[in-house]
Amino acid sequence: MKTLEDVSGASDIVSNKIWRDTMFNFIFAGKDTIGAALTWFFWLMATNPVHENKIRQEIITNLHVNEEGVFNITEVEELNSLVYLHGAICETLRLFPPVPLQHKAPIEADILPSGHCLKPNTKTVIPFCSMGRMEQIWGEDCLEFKPERWISERGGIKNVPSFKFTAFNAGPSSCLGKEMSFIQMKIVAAAVIYHFKFKVVEGQSILPSNSVVLNMKHGLKVRVSRRA
């Protein structure tokens, strides 16, 4: 909003309605999507204990833990040191994007990079969930849960273009709450993994729901135990 005001040179362009709609989008659009993403994340952690242990060790190494065994995050920048956690969250969003598809329609006739011609108002469905599992985009190991693919050779967070990693949409249409979503997911994930251990209840059917938000169809049942 501040950028919009600076560019336009007029603060009245940002009306109360725009502020209201933006805040509504932040609060409500982010609530269900983050919940869905974290459900898939904890399922992946419970079924991939090697990755879970790496994340916990990263937390112990990089965050301050007091004498009572509780870590405190006082600055958002501290979360940037949790590189492996960031990679694990990105992998979760790649395989199970909270918004599994999107559709667009051009106002005027257009031609896609693939050569396909689109007439005005022709709806084109963009399957984010399928794109996250395409070998042409992610390589032969596209179906593997591999947080390392998000880590650079120097050990930092790898920059992946939004048109490849479409969990938050792409380009100018990218989600306004992307960074806030990462912050919330990292804080919750770090706190839970550090203090608790999950074991998935056997016999349950893990399936995605057929809905606007990619929730687990039957929810996730786990047994939770506090770490020593």
Per-residue model confidence as pLDDT tens digits over 187-227: 999 999 999 999 999 999 999 998 889 999 999 999 999 98
**DSSP one-letter string for 148-217:** GGGB-TTSSB----TTTS-BTB-GGGS-TTHHHHHHHHHHHHHHHHHHEEEEEPTT----B-SSSS--BT
Q: Please give the CATH architecture assigned to the domain spanning 24-226.
A: Orthogonal Bundle (1.10)
Known binding residues: 175
Known binding residues for heme: 175
Max Cα–Cα distance, the chain, nearest Å? 65
Parse the chain into domains and list their residue ranges: 24-226
Cα radius of gyration rounded to whole Å, the chain: 20
The residue type found at 69 is G
Q: Mind listing the pLDDT tens digit for each residue in 26-68?
A: 666 667 889 999 999 999 999 999 999 999 999 999 988 777 7
Cβ-contact 222, 42 below 8 angstroms:
yes
Q: Mind listing the pLDDT tens digit for each residue in 127-170?
A: 999 999 999 999 999 999 999 999 999 999 999 999 999 999 88
For residue 125, the surrounding DSSP H or E stretch is strand 124-126
